[in-house]
């Protein structure tokens, strides 16, 4: 089990790198995260949803993702706390304090999923959540040491030297956790190192001496990490713009942004400068396209959009000849109104939309979770992607759909002049031919990016990176 001294220390990438590295050795390896908190999710082969990081780890292991890889997923919903997804399906919602009472009854589900993966694998690499030192949440814990102790799983602790204080992170963790929990930790990894590794040899020795844990490697900063989907939106506010091309695309950085890896292919394009518009910033006048991304709390994010004056900015953007595209929740915002009569994402009620598409949306208690493929007439291109949404959108502009699905359905809507469009399907921009058509329409240079291959290349590079700097043989012996 790979646990961390804190959030964002690189646990997810370490697991992905190890999964690909061991798979390259011919090991049947599977990823597992007992409990995740993220609005960046993926649809699995068995019709559920899990954290996007676990889907990436499954890909690294050369497996199809399944719900057992992340049996408990918490999806934050603002004032409503979090939606609780159990084995891929919505089980309810709870505030943070109320969720503590869920943990004892979720423990058996977690252990059952782990047992299935374990039975089918030579090696299961488990990812913890947040910090191993969150002693205030230790009672009934299913995410870190509580799981490790129940499953009798050895632990490797990861610290992040890039944020500073890594010696205190690791030694301090040993100081505050229970002795029986500390006994599960077999070794440690220092992640995100920059510079001359010889300068930290004494630091590694000190940590090992103070903790009694084995030093398993000093892992240099992995520059290609930005090419892989992120687990959560924490880092988006500080993310630099995309490649710096001539075409500027702006994405609204909403508080409850979801499935934001939809935008990764655009950010990777050499001819595109993708900018995340932060609260308080105006939509730039030279933007060719504005994207309203998915949202886990659509009505609340729509209110934030208005509070920032972005509704006015979008109208001005259209007057300048710009285009707008909405994905999932962003698509819903473009219509005349959103109704949430049974309180799926809000306390209930309704809100006026932006009125840029002649459609309306009603949120329902049935969530659509499926992989789809078909043809996109708007781009004259084949596509594949996935649906992950609640709600039904209808109206006259749906007569001009964005997508024709292979199962006979249509998805999305376009305005009469074609400059405003939206659809529910996620993952559209990862399709090379569709993305190339979009960029041609915006006046960008021809695309040379093969996006899916770039993900594979990054995973291979990550595996080689881990194999070069971590003691894989020692990790294998620890797991055995």
**Which residues are catalytically annotated?**
328, 426
* DSSP secondary structure letter of residue 449: -
Cα separation of 16 and 12, whole Å?
A: 6
Cα 416 to Cα 9, 177, 338, 447: the distances in Å are 48, 62, 21, 28
Q: What length is written for the chain?
A: 480
Phi, psi of 99, rounded to the nearest 5 degrees: -65, -25
Residue 94 exposure: Cα atoms within 13 Å on the Cβ side: 16
Q: Give 176-245 as a DSSP string.
A: HS-HHHHTTEEEEEEEEE-S-GGGGHHHHHHHHHHH-PEEEEEEE--GGGGGS--SSGGGGGGPPPSS--
85 contacts 73 by C-beta, under 8 angstroms: yes
Helix (H), strand (E) counts: the chain? 15, 26
- H helix or E strand, kind and range, residue 474: helix 472-479
Exposed (0-12), middle (13-18) or buried (19+): which is 180, by Cβ within 10 Å? exposed
Q: Give 248-300 as a DSSP string.
A: EEEEE--TTEE-GGGGHHHHH-TTEEEEEE-TTPPPPTTEEEEEE-EESSHHH
Residue 382 exposure: Cα atoms within 13 Å on the Cβ side: 3
* DSSP secondary structure letter of residue 127: B
Checking DSSP bridges between strand 155-160 and strand 185-193, what pairing results, if any?
parallel
Exposed (0-12), middle (13-18) or buried (19+): which is 209, by Cβ within 10 Å? exposed
């Amino acid at each position: 089990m790979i646990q961390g001294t804190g959030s964002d220390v690189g646990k997810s990438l370490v697991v992905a790198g190890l999964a690909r590295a061991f798979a390259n050795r011919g090991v049947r390896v599977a990823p597992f995260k007992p409990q995740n908190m993220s609005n960046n999710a993926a649809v699995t082969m068995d019709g559920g949803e899990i954290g996007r990081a676990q889907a990436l780890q499954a890909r690294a292991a050369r497996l199809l993702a399944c719900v057992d890889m992340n049996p408990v997923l918490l999806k934050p919903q603002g004032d409503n706390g979090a939606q609780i997804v159990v084995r891929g399906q919505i089980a309810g919602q709870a505030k943070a304090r109320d969720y503590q009472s869920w943990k004892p009854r979720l423990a058996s589900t977690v252990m059952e999923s782990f047992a299935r993966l374990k039975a089918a694998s030579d090696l299961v690499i488990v990812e913890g959540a947040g910090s191993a030192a969150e002693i205030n949440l230790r009672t009934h814990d299913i995410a870190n040491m509580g799981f490790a102790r129940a499953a009798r799983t050895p632990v490797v602790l990861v610290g992040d030297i890039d944020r500073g204080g890594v010696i205190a992170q690791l030694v301090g963790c040993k100081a505050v956790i229970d002795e029986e929990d500390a006994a599960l930790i077999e070794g440690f990894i220092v992640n995100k190192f920059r510079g001359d590794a010889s300068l930290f040899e004494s630091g590694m020795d000190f940590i090992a001496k103070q903790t009694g844990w084995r030093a398993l490697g000093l892992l240099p900063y992995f520059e290609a990490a930005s090419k892989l989907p992120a687990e959560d939106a924490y880092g988006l506010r500080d993310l630099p713009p995309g490649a710096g091309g001539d075409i500027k695309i702006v994405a609204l950085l909403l508080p409850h942004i979801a499935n934001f890896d939809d935008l990764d292919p655009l950010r990777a394009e050499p001819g595109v400068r993708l900018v995340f518009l932060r609260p308080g910033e105006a939509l730039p006048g030279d933007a060719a396209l504005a994207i309203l991304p998915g949202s886990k709390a659509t009505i609340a994010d729509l209110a934030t959009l208005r509070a920032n004056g972005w509704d006015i900015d979008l109208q001005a953007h259209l007057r300048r000849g710009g285009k707008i595209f909405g994905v999932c929740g962003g698509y819903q915002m473009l219509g005349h109104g959103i109704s949430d009569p049974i309180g799926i994402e809000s306390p209930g009620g309704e809100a006026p939309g932006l009125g840029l598409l002649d459609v309306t949306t009603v949120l329902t208690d049935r969530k659509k979770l499926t992989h789809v493929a078909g043809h996109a007439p708007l781009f004259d291109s084949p596509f594949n992607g996935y649906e992950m949404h609640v709600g039904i959108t209808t109206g006259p502009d749906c007569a001009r759909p964005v997508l024709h699905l292979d199962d006979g359905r249509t998805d999305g809507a376009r305005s009469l002049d074609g400059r405003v469009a939206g659809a529910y399907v996620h993952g559209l921009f990862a399709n090379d031919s569709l993305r190339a058509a979009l960029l041609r329409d915006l006046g960008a240079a021809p695309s040379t990016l093969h996006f899916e291959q770039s993900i594979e290349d990054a995973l291979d590079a990550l595996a080689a990176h881990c194999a070069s700097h971590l003691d894989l043989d020692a990790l294998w012996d620890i797991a055995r």
